[in-house]
Amino acid sequence: MFLKPIENTSGFTRAIHSITRTYKGKNIIPGSSTLFFVNEDGYAVTCKHVIDLLATSETVNRKYSEFKNERDKLPVDGKLREKLKRLEIKYEYRDETIIGIKNNFMNCVDFMSGFTWHTHPKYDLAILKFNDFNKIAYTDHAVFVKNNSKVQQGKFLCRIGFPFPEFTNFKLNEETDEMDWTQDGIVNSPVFPLEGMITRHLAAEGKLFGIELSTPGLRGQSGGPLFDEDGFVYGMQFSTKHLHLGFDLEDTEVMINGKLKKINNYSFIHLGQCIHADIIKEFLEEKNVKFYEE
């Protein structure tokens, strides 16, 4: 049903690879998110919370650079531990505090001087523009559904994104105390499709803004397109809600590997939420960004 649309949509859907580290963490944590292009001019849409992460990166990295500069000037004496503790309090660093974030746009453009963005004032939606590139590295672009009457309960749609980061091309540079991208390891993560049936429409203040699906949007699929069997884009994945079903089990005995064990289980249904195509198109029009619909 979605074989050809997945292939076509993958041509303009791209991953953002992110790596983070915490103050006392010994490992680099890989993560991913998704964007998709709406025209041939380097314009893409993604979630506002994805842009927030990108925007935060520079501030987080600059703060740790300033911390290191002060830390490295501390005299190595009997009071080093005490002075380092005061410095950690000054910078509000605890064990789990994120001190480094680096991002990598995968196969979007050949080169860029940077990027600019617009975030929607109400919805989890953003427009991203790649600046000063010579050549695009994506193929085709989204075509939005024009007739919103097709967005009805019971219709099956599909999402794609990059929820399972398998890339390993990074390392911690011990000399500089910084994370680096490398030429070694796995560079890409596979695209992951997930279908779902439209269960309800999402509205607020009397305005329809989203589509609810019967299956969850997975972490890393945020910013990915929602499309039908013909490849027309109906929206963009932005979050998942969790509804308690009430089928709870408490101190219930079940047979596991031939032994009775008491278990607790609290059941939820996880429903994906997508920004409606009409909201995306309105925002693109407001910012004078060309898009296609049919």
**Residue ranges per domain, the chain?**
3-293
The pLDDT of residue 149: 82
Whether residue 191 is predicted with pLDDT greater than 90 in this model: the reply is yes
Fold of 3-293: Thrombin, subunit H (2.40.10)
Whether residue 1 is predicted with pLDDT greater than 90 in this model: the reply is no
The pLDDT of residue 238: 98
Question: What's the pLDDT band for 150 if we cut at 50, 70, 90?
Answer: confident
Average pLDDT of the segment spanning 15-30: 94
Whether residue 169 is predicted with pLDDT greater than 90 in this model: the reply is yes
Return mean pLDDT, the chain: 95
Whether residue 228 is predicted with pLDDT greater than 90 in this model: the reply is yes
Q: What angle do CA 211, 216, 218 make, to 5 degrees?
A: 115
The pLDDT of residue 157: 98
Whether residue 148 is predicted with pLDDT greater than 90 in this model: the reply is no
Whether residue 26 is predicted with pLDDT greater than 90 in this model: the reply is no
Whether residue 128 is predicted with pLDDT greater than 90 in this model: the reply is yes
Whether residue 117 is predicted with pLDDT greater than 90 in this model: the reply is yes
Whether residue 83 is predicted with pLDDT greater than 90 in this model: the reply is yes
